[in-house]
Structure 1
């Protein structure tokens, strides 16, 4: 009988120890809780929203503000270009490294002329540069002088044996502007001329 009691005691003790070990193991296991990413998502979304709504400042054209000697306007002239009086009421802005690339500038008071008149004069000038060429209207906004105060822009171009001739007329705060650009096919300077043309304004 003693052996039976002893065996039963050992068995019960073993079961109790096993049960205690299981409970202890369960107590040591950290409860798994879902990670709350709501706050992080909101912060990320807010940061992205702030980035999208932040407007970059408009970059100003680097150059020298130059007054015309014979006309009532000022223009920002980029490095590598020079403004000179070609004849009365006509200035020439040319590339100092390639004088075949130039921009003729003519300005008029809105009291003395109309945008329609100078545009007609421009198209006649362009067509005269190549009688057999086809005059095309420019619709690409990247090839048109733009500024918050520039209005009534007209833009045309024509191919010639020596390259393109491009012309613009526009109005800015009572000043009518007629631009004629002579550019080369190789290494064209049209983009720089357009940037400078957009800075023309009355003195």
Structure 2
């Protein structure tokens, strides 16, 4: 009887030991498989390349967006600067702001006249803007189309006219007109016994203009004449 009990106990012990060994081997196999899969994923070139490509694409997209934003900003600034530049002549020239638009009766142009100045015909192809307070202060206006003359001829002509006002004096060349509307411009000045004579030749919008300004020392209104002269346009 005792032998049978001992044999049964031995069988149970061996079965338990085998079950335990099977469980350990199964766990170890599962752990090894999981570790192997993780390592393979980390070392997989395809997975690594995909991640790198995604990061590169995101960086390039961000850079392109930044570049486009900068270009849009530059374009906006350039447009604003151009608009401001186009407004400057009007804002800086008192004749355009305070003058009266006047059409020549004998020639094909119009001009803005400041208060206390009038326009009258002098002779064919020549008008005069004069001060109503002192008619010794005046500006002769001559206008031509680009078919009638060219700027070089007008420039040389006005230079000779100014020099002829005082042959013994030194002719001075002044800075050219500023502004995109003036294709070409030349200014000359010479002193006289009681003042000065200023000559201008300029070209804009297919019109070539010659101005001869006679000013007196005590008056000093050459700048007013120049401002009015700049506003001449064909009509």
Taking structure 1 as the reference length, the TM-score comes to 0.67
Structural mapping, 1:23-172, within 5 Å: 58=88, 59=91, 60-139=96-175, 145-172=177-204
- Cα separation, partners in 2 of 1:185 and 1:102, compared to 1, 3 Å: same
* Structure (1 or 2) with the greater helix fraction: 2
Q: CA deviation at 1:145?
A: 4.5
RMSD (Å), alpha carbons: 1.8
Higher-Rg structure is: 2
Q: CA deviation at 1:162?
A: 2.4
Which residue pairs with 1:48 in the alignment? none
Secondary structure of 1:93's aligned partner: strand
Q: Distance in 2 between matches of 1:73 and 1:189?
A: 23
4+ residue segments displaced more than 3 Å? 55-58, 144-148
- Cα separation, partners in 2 of 1:66 and 1:145, compared to 1, 3 Å: farther
Q: Distance in 1 between matches of 2:178 and 2:139?
A: 17
Structural mapping, 1:174-185, within 5 Å: 174-185=206-217
Q: CA deviation at 1:134?
A: 1.1
Q: CA deviation at 1:127?
A: 1.2
Q: CA deviation at 1:193?
A: 0.8
- Cα separation, partners in 2 of 1:198 and 1:145, compared to 1, 3 Å: farther
Number of corresponding residues: 146
- CA deviations over 1:11-42 (Å, ceiling 9, x no partner): xxxxxxxxxxxxxxxxxxxxxxxxxxxxxxxx
Q: Distance in 1 between matches of 2:225 and 2:180?
A: 18
- CA deviations over 1:135-164 (Å, ceiling 9, x no partner): 11012xxxx544431221100000111210
Secondary structure of 2:217's aligned partner: coil
Q: CA deviation at 1:196?
A: 0.6
Q: CA deviation at 1:87?
A: 0.5
- Cα separation, partners in 2 of 1:145 and 1:198, compared to 1, 3 Å: farther
- 1:188 equivalent to 2:224? Answer no
Q: CA deviation at 1:194?
A: 1.2
Q: CA deviation at 1:200?
A: 0.4
Secondary structure of 1:86's aligned partner: strand
Secondary structure of 1:124's aligned partner: helix
Q: CA deviation at 1:61?
A: 2.5
